[in-house]
Structure 1
Amino acid sequence: MQQILATIDSFHDFIARHPLAVIHVMRDNCSVCHAVLPQIADVVKDFPNVPLGIVNQSELEEIAGELSIFTVPVDLIYLDGKEMHRQGRFIDMQQFEHQLNLMYQSLDS
């Protein structure tokens, strides 16, 4: 499940509503951001009930200050409303999937 998050409030609501959530922050003219998005979506689809929130920093500039983002893309994993993992600029998909898997398993225990 993917959802576009267009406001700071929708971002906060999204991470509060889902015990485990992934956020992808991108910009319009970032080719790496657009290349990483389908890869992140492909990883997330293997985890039932883990939603993917997409924030376009070009349309929501204040997300940079809210999340202390200095470069894009940034991919984040939130567990119980807290940021637990962050990768920026160069995304290691294996590491990202490993971290997501650990947190997903912790939900069951």
Structure 2
Amino acid sequence: MREFHELNSLEEVDAWIRTNQLALLYISRPNCSVCHGLKPQVQNLMDNYLKMQLGHADAQQIEELAGRFSIFTVPVLLVFWEGKEYIREARIVHMDLLEEKLDKLYNHVAG
């Protein structure tokens, strides 16, 4: 199970997205039961995408995240390639559909 890199400020999040060609950002809140249940499922799935960097940000700690990424609920999964958002999943994430989307992007860019 892969671990997420903890990001503690909006500046760290932006720098992390810029410096990682293929990146998944997991945004959650501490009191969100859906967030806590989904995170290990995402971690296990990410074993299939070793070239993808994993980052985690706490929307409660970094209040600016909501405005920066137009987030209205948590959890949110954002996948970036070369700094551009390609995949967005929020709240109820269907893991099989997420895997299909990730496969398409990953096979195209990480070949």
Query: What's the TM-score once normalised by structure 1's chain length?
Result: 0.93
Aligned partners of 1:23 and 1:77 also within 8 Å: yes
Please point out which of 57, 69, 73 is paired with 2:59: 57
Q: Which residue matches 1:17?
A: 19
Alignment deviations for residues 24-46 of structure 1 (CA, whole Å, 9 cap, x no partner): 11001000001111111111121
In structure 1, stretches of 5+ residues that fail to align are: none
The CA deviation string for residues 87-107 of structure 1, in whole angstroms up to 9 with x for no partner, is 111111111111111111112
> Which residue type is aligned with residue 11 of structure 2?
D
The gaps in structure 2 that reach 5 residues or longer are none
Distance 1:15 1:45 in 2: 20
CA RMSD for the aligned pairs? 1.2
Number of paired residues?
Answer: 109
Output the amino acid matched with 1:18: N
Runs of 4 or more above 6 Å deviation: none
Deviations for 1:9-65, whole angstroms, at most 9, x for unmatched residues? 111111111111111110010000011111111111211121111011111111011
**What aligned pairs does 1:21-36 form with structure 2 within 5 A after superposition?**
21-36=23-38
Contact kept? 1:44, 1:51, Cα under 8 Å: no
